[in-house]
Amino acid sequence: MRLDERDLEILRILERDARTPWSRIAKELGVSESTVYLRVRRLIEEGILEGFTVKINKRRLGLGTTLFLLIRVEAPRIKELRAALPRVKYLSEAHEVTGEYHFLIKITAPSREEASRSMDEIASLPGVQDLRILYSIREVKRDSDTISNLLEWRAVQREP
C-alpha cells in the first residue's frame, strides 16, 4: 500500500494523541470526517495502523527501575530463547539484534531487586552464555514521533 501525505498526516495526529476525534482531524486537514474515517479504516485493514494506545508513566505506577540487557546465546538455542523471553516477568521489550550479542532486552520493574529476579530468570534460560547489564538512570526520550520523522525524511529526500 502506498501512503500519501494525507495518510501520513492522519497517522501523525493519531500518534500524538490517539484520542483525537475524527472531526478535529478532518478540520485540521481540511477534509470531511468520513474521509478521515475511511482512511483510518483502510490503514487498519492494511496493517499499518495496529491499534490505538495510551502513554503510561511507569514511574508513577511504581515501575521505577529500567534496565537493558544484552544477551549472547548459543547459536542452536536462539529460537528456544526467542520463544521463552516473552514469559519473563517485567520484560517490556525484546529485540533480536545483530553483532556480538543476539538479543537486546528492556526490563521495567518496581525495584532493583525485582529487576534482578528477572535477570536471574533470563540468565537461567537454556543457552544463555553472557549478559551485559545497563541500568537506565534517566529516560531522555521515548519514541512517539515515528510519522513526524518519516515526514521530515521525505521532505529532505525531495530537496535538490
Residues 122 and 74 in one domain: yes
Residues 65 and 110 in one domain: yes
The answer to whether 46 and 11 are in contact (CB under 8 A) is: no
Residues 43 and 74 in one domain: no
Please tell me what DSSP assigns to residue 33: H
Residues 121 and 91 in one domain: yes
Residues 131 and 67 in one domain: yes
Environment class of 56 (CB within 10 Å of its CB; exposed 0-12, middle 13-18, buried 19+): exposed
Residues 104 and 47 in one domain: no
Confidence of residue 3 (pLDDT cuts 50, 70, 90): confident
CA within 13 Å, CB half, 93: 10
109 in a structural domain:
yes
Residues 73 and 108 in one domain: yes
Residues 10 and 63 in one domain: no
**Total domains, the chain:** 2
CATH of residue 124's domain is 3.30.70.920
**What type of residue is 1?**
M
Window from 10-24, 41-55, 136-150 with minimum mean pLDDT: 136-150
Residues 82 and 45 in one domain: no
Q: Tens of pLDDT along 9-47?
A: 999 899 889 999 999 999 999 999 999 999 999 999 999
- Predicted local distance difference test score (pLDDT) of residue 93: 94
Confidence of residue 57 (pLDDT cuts 50, 70, 90): confident
pLDDT top residue among 139 and 32: 32
The CA–CA distances, whole Å, from 127 to 34, 67, 93, 112 equal 53, 21, 20, 25
Q: Residue 32 is part of which domain span?
A: 5-54
153 in a structural domain:
no
Q: Helices (H), strands (E): how many in the chain?
A: 6, 4
Residues 65 and 128 in one domain: yes
pTM above 0.85?
no
Residues 64 and 102 in one domain: yes
